[in-house]
Amino acid sequence: MDTTKDIDLKELIDIIVKKWWLILLLTIVGFGSAYLVSAKYVTPVYEAKTVLYIGSEDSAMGSIGISLGQLEANSQLLIDYKQIALTRLVIDEVVKNTGLNISYIAFQNNIVIENISDSRLFTVGFRNSDPLIAKKVSDELAKQITVAAAQIVGVENIRILDQALVPQTPVSPNLFLNTMIGGALGLLISLIIVIMMFILKDTVTDEEDIENLIGVSVLGSIPEFKGEAK
């Protein structure tokens, strides 16, 4: 006699519908918990960005040229400058000039360098929990890159166009994304609980349950009489 409980999709859907309140409750709890943790307990991080320009040095004028034919060479220079920004030569100087108390590795992890598409512009950014520090370090980092480039590459073909602004909005945590993830986890957990309740359900409630349990058709049933006990 096979007593294994077969999963009835219709019955499973029925129990999910009946437990809608549990699913809704845990989903709301997931939304609320993720938002509360992100908003109250996660330290916001701000990112400031300084804009730089790569050109070609004019030996006669000592100025930056604007020849578009050098875009390919400038693309390679951008890669070089990104690596220069991560060197101890640059980072140690930035830390010394800003008075920032941070390790070399931690500083590297907070640097953000991005090229601006279809141009010879790129941004040097720094992330910190203090927006003023983020701006100060970003500007100093850009300055030290130009100094190091002149020393290492031997040409002055990089200029600071725009200094960083003090960021007003944190880049992390992402409240919307974290809240959505929390709600999704709450929904998933609630569905797992409901499915486990269905799988572990062993209560016999009607003739169909008896037939599924023992594998034998029910020949008859005793009706329930309601009356006064004597």
Q: Which residues have a Cβ under 8 Å from the Cβ of 221 and sit 6 or more positions away? A: 207
CA distances from 48 to 16, 126, 219 (A): 48, 6, 79
Could you tell me how far CA 142 lies from the centroid of its own chain? 27
Q: Residue 158 in contact with residue 120, Cβ under 8 Å?
A: no
Pairing of strands 158-162, 46-54: antiparallel
Closest to 135 measured CA to CA, from 86, 100, 92, 85:
100
Residue 77 tokens, joined: 């220079």
Rg (CA), the chain: 33
pLDDT tops 70 at residue 26: yes
The mean predicted confidence, pLDDT, of the chain is 81
Q: What is the pLDDT of residues 43-99, one digit of tens each?
A: 999 999 999 988 765 534 344 444 444 555 566 777 788 888 899 999 999 999 999
Enumerate residues 6+ apart whose C-beta is below 8 A from 56: 64, 65, 67, 70, 73, 74, 157
Residue 31 burial class via C-beta count within 10 angstroms: exposed 0-12, middle 13-18, buried 19 and up: buried
Query: For 41, which DSSP code?
Result: I
Among 115, 121, 134, which Cα is nearest to 172's? 134
Lowest mean pLDDT across 3-17, 64-78, 183-197:
64-78
Q: What is the pLDDT of residues 28-59, one digit of tens each?
A: 999 999 999 988 999 999 999 999 988 765 53
Please tell me which of 38-47, 116-125, 196-205 the model is most confident about, judged by mean pLDDT.
38-47
C-alpha pair distances (Å), 183 with each of 19, 172, 195: 17, 19, 18
Round to the nearest angstrom and report the end-to-end CA distance of the chain: 42
Cis peptide before 173 (omega within 30 of 0): yes
Average pLDDT over residues 167-189: 93
Closest CA to 129 of 48, 34, 39: 48
What is the reported pLDDT for 54?
81
Q: How far is CA 198 from CA 27, 186, 195, 212, in A?
A: 19, 19, 5, 14
15 pLDDT band, cuts 50/70/90, is: confident
- Sorted by sequence, the CB contacts under 8 Å of residue 149 that are 6+ apart come out as 81, 84, 155, 156, 157, 158
Q: Does residue 197 sit in helix, strand or coil?
A: helix
pLDDT tens digit sequence for 122-141: 899 999 999 999 999 999 99
Whether 190 has a pLDDT exceeding 60, the answer reads yes
